[in-house]
Structure 1
Amino acid sequence: MQSLIELQQQLVPDMLAAMKKRYLILRQVLLSDMIGRRMLAASLTMTERVLRAETDFLKAQGLLHIDAAGMRITDAGKRLLEDMEPFYKAMFGLSDLETRIRQRYGLKQVMIVPGDSDISPHAKRELGRAGCSALRKVMEKDDIVAVTGGSTLAQVASQLTTQTSLKGNWFVPARGGLGESLDYQANTIASTMAKRTGAQYRLLHVPDHLGEEAYQSLMQEPNIREIVEVIRHARIVIHGIGDAVVMARRRRVDESVIEALNAEGALAEAFGYYFDRNGNVVHRMPTAGLRLEDIMATEVVIAVAGGRSKGEAIASVMRFGHDDILVTDEAAALEIAALLDDEEGLDINARS
């Protein structure tokens, strides 16, 4: 397949561009359920004139239904997208990118979805769908799954379905709550995942950011200690990745801590720990929940994060080396690839 694609790129490059454009239109309409032409053009950064010609073509092919309310994808369009997905990844280099990132960081699997979730809510929704798929594939009977908070993990939760009951499984928060929207807290996400799959859940009703004295005091409480022990025995951890300073501010930490993070070169945050460019832990917050030693002993660790702005942060956590599966988007993956190019260039210069 790849050799044929290379020939097509040389002989009829405009054909591949048209295929990509129409594929992305169909995919965006699918993710939107029903969408108007103006909103679709804005989400694809395409002029309405160009979009009209493309959607008229797709309608004539029986792939889109268009009326006064907007447009939606037909069953034939859905089947075409399913058939094209592996071809799309090969055609636009996502399969090669997945392999490169997987091999570079020693991961078991890398899944890349099209788009940039920084600017497209539809890409973030697709990121959640892929994260859900990754989680489903590794879950076994009676598993305990620890989940962190954040908008991306909320998308994963929203994509889980009840098609297969997970009655014997447990979802638990990996740590306490941030002082943010209830929808994005780990407790909420864990309970949503459980309710959507028929599983069970436990909640951890403590703040995420604790002083050392408060942490030691809370850990003396029998009920807190019991749920924390359950969390620390999770077989699967699924987590997001954030920018270090952004996450610190969301935790409302003192400005002196933020200055310390900057001085220490903190770049990324995951499960309450802060990592520098080389994947070294440079700072941690006392928190009831998962500790670093628990992560290192966990059987399956899944990271779900995307957006061009997070490329460097994702690479930082991957260098830490204890994730098994990375689910990301095209924009973040391209940023990671650029970092790998720079590293390889430095290696070549050092050897010469």
Structure 2
Amino acid sequence: MTTPGLLPPGSTIGIIGAGQLGRMIGVAAVQLGYRTHILAPESGPANDVCFAFTRAAYDDPDALAAFAEAVDVVTYEFENIAADPIAAIAATVPVRPSVAALRVAQDRTAEKRFVEDLGGRAAPWREVDSRAGLDAAIAAIGCPAILKTTRFGYDGKGQARLHTPADADAAWAAIGAAPAILEGFVRFAHEFSIVLARGADGAIMGYPPPVNVHADGILASSALPAPAMVASQWTEAAALAGRVAERLDYIGVLTLEFFATDTGPVFNEMAPRVHNSGHWTIEGAQTSQFENHVRAICSLPLGPTGLTARAVRMENLIGDQVTRWPDLIAQDDAHLHLYGKHEARPGRKMGHVTRIER
């Protein structure tokens, strides 16, 4: 007996985006007997493991329509894509996660309001739509603060810090005078994330929370088990993530990032996709985030998410850190993942290494 809507092995998963997340989804898909078809404006790491490739802009309606006809389900590896063209193909093929999730997560203002409506607590913030609006936001929140574009920001891009109100002109110029939000700083002990998978049947499986360390706005490492403070806030943060998934009727892997503070978890941002802070799950969990994403979008039962080791640590290889690969691959406790990118630019994620302590 098969589950209604189940996509059997041999079906084709369409992935919008050709980066490393698409690559790792593709590896998991192949292991379960699926094919992947990538749509992206240029070739990338995911092309090394895909069955077919459509080179096209993410908002090309004709290319998207043909792509939808060629695949059995569509997913995406990042949220900085126009939602309307994706919504147009949802009438032809299932899009998982839904376009509703995409619309919420790609706009910081919508995201903050959505999570706060569900009982989540975010850092103090104000909407900024002009230079005068920035002054008003500073007056309301104070400094230090961080100015973030409402759209198209990731890995520290589209952001500027204000140490004092005198930094306002430089910060506004640094983000290109784009619509933004101003966030007040939060005193926190740790950053952590909740990564969960929600199946087509509504079942949810959550992973233990990793503690994350960032450098220059880019994730540097994720480690488990989490310290006691994070562990004590896990239940509350996971419950909020579950409410987000339920409200969006979400299918796939969803990630919410938090700050652990003396007064409880403070929501930072969400990602409607597999996430860098979940890369440790490939070796460190019973079922990786990538496999569970494939399982979810294909209407398969979700796999267990428990730890496979006493301790796990994932480190990103950013820029020329990738040149360490000969030493890393020789270490017994290191599991090396290289993304096949040909140029190691500063700030570019070239791979990661996961260490397992049993």
Same fold by TM-score greater than 0.5: no
Task: From the two aligned structures, give the one with the greater strand fraction.
Answer: 2
Task: From the two aligned structures, give the one with the greater helix fraction.
Answer: 1
Give the TM-score of the pair, scaled to structure 1.
0.30
